Structure 1
Amino acid sequence: MTTRPAPRTRLPRWAGAGAAVLLVLGAATACSSSAGGAGSGSGSAPGEPSGTVTVFAAASLTESFTTLGERFEKANPGTEVTFSFGGSDSLAAGITSGAPADVFASASPRTMKIVTDAGDASGTPATFVRNQLEIATLPGNPHRVSSLRDLTDPELKVVLCDKGVPCGAAAQTALDASGLELTPVSYEQDVKSALTKVQLKEADAALVYRTDVRAAGDKVEGVDFPEAAEAVNDYPIALLENAPNAEAAEAFIAYVRSGEGRRVLADAGFLAP
């Protein structure tokens, strides 16, 4: 069975939590209907994971988690993994507002804490990878960006993630560590949106994760900078308290943390926890 991640549920800035919950609920329902519903046996032996697992995951995990979902399904016939990818803060807000999900994988402990403080996580979240920032420029780096300081050039159009999401908070930490101030042309709700601005040539550079630069291939060029070491993000993952399919969710989390999961994540550019 092929994983078809739910269209990136861009949970808005939560102008209305109820509307956002309905948005996610609709996406989850649409995805699960093709699998016969969460918890459906689909002929699986007792004790084996089955049914739909709904995963809320940080946008920077899109490519690697999609791959892991496909491999998990192949290893566990009768399962289907559906995803909602987006900014970790928006996903956390959706969970605490009642959006149905089994697993939350966040791009920072801070956003995971929103969920644990609300009592919506089952057990203690585990850090499964880490991620580091990189400067994304246009292919060929036409503006010859070589450092974080170069981004302060007023002639450059630079994009950052919103300060409320992990990639934006990490960018601010790196800027603070360097003593630099930067006024971007826009703040984006998640890292994929920031990177897209560069890909569409609407910006000259963006501060994003190096995993996203790698996933973009030749559409952008990455530039390392030393201050990134001051802003490495831990990524925690947790089973959710009211998970509709807790057994399969636990199996998926174990798979993410297995040797196979670590290899896929390392190939994507993530750091070991």
Structure 2
Amino acid sequence: MTRTTRRTHRAGRTGRTLRVAGAGAAALLALSACSSSDDDSSTGSDSPASGSSSGKLSGTVTVFAAASLKESFTTLGKEFEKEHPGTKVTFSFGGSDSLAAGITGGAPADVFASASPRTMEIVTDAGDASGTPATFVRNQLQIATLPGNPDKIASLKDLTRSSLKVVLCDKEVPCGAAAQKALGAGKLKLTPVSYEQDVKAALTKVELKEADAAVVYKTDVHAAGDKVEGVEFPESADAINDYPIVQLKNAQNTGAAKAFIALAQSADGQKVLTGAGFLKP
């Protein structure tokens, strides 16, 4: 074989080697792209916020809400689960200040609905809210008396009678703070037989006939049905509470959290809330 022939032969082998290497690299790139696509699809389907690659909601959404929202939010929770099959709404109801303390202490929750801006500030000031809270309803106070109003209570001033056993919410919770504001507007002093941890506890005292009257929300009188009787008083107009709602920073199910808040603010949600006695924002 001549020197020229050997150079030609080596060049041919080099060309074939480069072609084979190029084909192999192309195959590896194609395989890598396929693998990356599969991984992205899998991540999307497992995300608790999206539920699936199509954006369908799934999983549990945990809502911390003021005690006065119990009946209406329970109804909204059922509607939410019906609208989004595969989801579950769990609630923790109680005094807004206790719930706020739980959130800032690390309690896992996706949404917080408070009975006052002041208690919402506990959460926002701690940096535990995602976004700006929005007022979605308001609530007004009412006097709850025994059925038939046997003590003939007709005004907030009547509650100052020494013969009556009156219950108020604790001053630290929104219903208690509102009651103090209403009493201040009427320039009245009232010493209750007890201060209760939330509005439901105060109302229960009347339902069980352990108290003659309690200052609670109109929504709670409505929810109690014929177990109590409601008495309106003008000073309540000076103590109307705004109810803010917000998604929490450490929410585990952000998609469902946003959707639940949207439901509470929607026309359908507002219909349920106003039907329970809440005022529009």
Q: Is TM more than 0.5 here? A: yes
TM range (shorter): 0.7 to 0.9
Which residue of 1 is the match for residue 117 of structure 2? 109
How far 1:47 sits from its partner (Å)?
1.1
Structure 2: tracts of 5 or more residues without a match: 1-45
Query: How do 1:165-244 and structure 2 match up within 5 A?
Result: 165-244=173-252
Query: How do 1:27-38 and structure 2 match up within 5 A?
Result: none
Asked whether 1:125 is paired with 2:133, we answer yes
How far 1:46 sits from its partner (Å)?
2.3
Structure 1: tracts of 5 or more residues without a match: 1-36
Which residue of 1 is the match for residue 48 of structure 2? 39
Asked whether 1:253 is paired with 2:261, we answer yes
Which residue of 2 is the match for residue 57 of structure 1? 65
CA contact (8 A) 1:135 1:223 kept: yes
Which residue of 2 is the match for residue 164 of structure 1? 172
> 1 or 2, which has the higher helix percentage?
2
How far 1:48 sits from its partner (Å)?
2.0
Cα distance in 2 for residues equivalent to 1:49 and 1:134:
39
Asked whether 1:68 is paired with 2:73, we answer no
Cα distance in 2 for residues equivalent to 1:117 and 1:59:
22
CA contact (8 A) 2:49 2:57 kept: no
Cα distance in 1 for residues equivalent to 2:69 and 2:227:
18
- Over the aligned positions, Cα root-mean-square deviation in angstroms equals 1.4
TM-score by length of 1: 0.85
Greater C-alpha Rg: 2
What is the SS of the residue equivalent to 1:216? helix
How far 1:45 sits from its partner (Å)?
5.8
CA contact (8 A) 2:49 2:254 kept: no
Change (3 A) 1:122 1:41: closer
What is the SS of the residue equivalent to 2:124? helix
How far 1:49 sits from its partner (Å)?
1.7
How far 1:39 sits from its partner (Å)?
2.5
Q: Which amino acid aligns with 1:165?
A: V
CA contact (8 A) 2:50 2:255 kept: no
Asked whether 1:147 is paired with 2:155, we answer yes
Change (3 A) 1:264 1:38: farther
Identity of aligned residues (%): 75
Cα distance in 2 for residues equivalent to 1:48 and 1:91:
29
What is the SS of the residue equivalent to 1:95? helix
4+ long deviations beyond 2 Å: 37-42
What is the SS of the residue equivalent to 1:229? helix
Q: Which amino acid aligns with 1:85?
A: F
What is the SS of the residue equivalent to 2:80? helix
Cα distance in 2 for residues equivalent to 1:175 and 1:45:
55
CA contact (8 A) 2:48 2:253 kept: yes
Output one character per residue of 1:107-135: Cα deviation in whole Å (capped at 9) or x when no partner. 00000000000000000000000000000
The total of aligned residue pairs comes to 236
Asked whether 1:99 is paired with 2:107, we answer yes
